[in-house]
Every structure is written in C-alpha cells, then in structure tokens.
Structure 1
Amino acid sequence: MTAKILVSACLMGHAVRYDGAAKPLRHPAIERWRAEGRLVTLCPELSAGMPVPRPPAEIEGGRTGADILSGAGRVVEKTGQDVTEAFRHAAENALALALATNCRFALLIDGSPSCGSGFVYDGSFSGERVKGEGVTAAILRANGVEVFSDREVEMLVERLAGEDDGAA
C-alpha cells in the first residue's frame, strides 16, 4: 500500500497562512506525490474555524506543542487573545484526518505554532526561535505519524523509498 502524506496547505500553494499568504514548496517529489495521489492537504487552523487573515500567534514562554497538549502552556495572538483551544482543536482535526486517510507521514511548515516540527517562535513576537514543535506536529508524533519539515523533503524521499520498495 502506498504511504500517504499529510501536508500543510500553505506548502501546496493555498493562501491560508495567518497573513493570507501561501509558502509554496517546489520540489519534484511533491509533484510526483501529488500525481500519485499520496498527498492529503490540510491547514489545521482553518479546520478549526480560524479566519484568514488572522493575527499572528505564538506559543508563550518558549514552550512547545507538547506543553500545550499537556495543559502547561498557552498559544496567544499578538493582540493578547488566548487561542489555545483553537490550536488544540486544530491539532485534533489534523490527527483525525491523518488516521482516517492512513497518513503515516506528515510534511509540515516549520516555525508555525501548529505545524512547526524543528522550531517554533518563543512567544515574544520578536522573531526569536526555540527548538521544538507546534501543537499539530506534537500530536501527530505522539500518535505515530512521522513528521518532516519543509526543509526535510529529501529525508522524507529517503524514508518513503524504504517504505515503498523504491517507488517513492
């Protein structure tokens, strides 16, 4: 069975980011996976009913998505609005979709309080990064979905080659 990949909608060219923009990821593997029907596209925040555009949000205090899932942190907008529950709901939606569509892998935009897998911003809205993951990346990993960032496409290609007997 061909492995499915949950992918951030912004990476697929959808203008769903907080600022109303997209971050299209151009890579031959993405086009091949699209043609093979492997990609399952989702913006977690939109799935939870958040608007586009919306104020930027960060995880407070240098915490990570795992902290949010355990109740030990908050996601706040630059305006000060607490959006923790929306981000938790977004993560739960992403997990439900991944499980329903047999996505064993995810390719997510790094830095996002939802999708970040290598880093997130520290909650000060100053551009400072901290090592860690967003809420969606955390819940996916906790449930056995292998998460790759937009900078790790080649790693995902190699991983899929092992899964698909070279058909990735």
Structure 2
Amino acid sequence: MRISARTDYAVRAMAELACTSGRPLKAEDIAGRQDIPLRFLFSVLSELRRARLVRSERGPDGGYALTRPPTEVTVADVIRAMDGPLMSVRDLKLTGLAYPGAASALPDVWRAVRTSLRQVLEGTTLADLAAGTLPPLVQERVRDYNDDGRTYPS
C-alpha cells in the first residue's frame, strides 16, 4: 500500500479537526500546525467535504469541522475518501481471485494483507490520533516495527 501525500495530508488535517471539540478550524491554522501547503490543503478539504467527512462554515468564526464525532471516523474512512479502496490487486476483486501453478497461494497473501490493513486502519479513529493513544493492535505492530523501543500509552 502506498500512502500519497494527498492522503497523508488528509489524515493529518482530520486529526487536527478532531482536537477542536466541534469548533471550526481555519485552513490556515491546519496548514500551519501540520506544515501542509495551503493551496494543497484547500484541495484536500474540498474532497473531504464532498465525502461528507468535513463541513465548512463561512464567516469570521468559520472554518472546517468534522461532520461526525472523532470516535466515529476511522483512518480507513479518510483513506477511502481520498483514494478509494484500501487495497486492490489490478482493480480485481479478491474474492474468487485465483492464480495457476506456483502462484496459487498468492491470492491468500493478498487477502491477508487486506485483512491486516483493515484491522489497523478501521480500528484507529481520529479520536485515537488526537489523543495519542493508539489501539492495542497498532501498539503491538509498532513495537514489532520500532527498534527504538518507543511505546504509546493505552
């Protein structure tokens, strides 16, 4: 799986919005806090608005806000809004995918990868990101990955 800059910026912007308790946040503030180019952020926010993950409010106290509580929006929701399905193999459905001969087990590898992605991305909410407390599954996988011994509080 490849995370594009656009998707990375979208998740980071959504994490910032999750910290605002529903109050609108100006794009300029999001861009500054997350070091995102403002023009690029406007494009990202527009897509998130079309996906009904954020709403925009006009006026001096306006800006952008989440349309649902951060506990109800997952990282997977944001990725799907920006890039479509979490994982695909040549745009084929994984159900019923079969290869001949030596590659016959490969579709099961693709299915396992997709399941792992879904477990992590659908199990991590914007509230988790905003609080800095990642779900146990993510913490476990980070420990497997990190060699600096860093852990996240539960």
Short-chain TM bin:
under 0.3
Larger radius of gyration, structure 1 or 2?
Answer: 2
TM-score (norm 1): 0.24
Q: Could you say which structure has the higher helix fraction?
A: 2
Task: Give me the TM-score of the superposition, normalised by structure 2.
Answer: 0.26
More strand, by proportion:
1
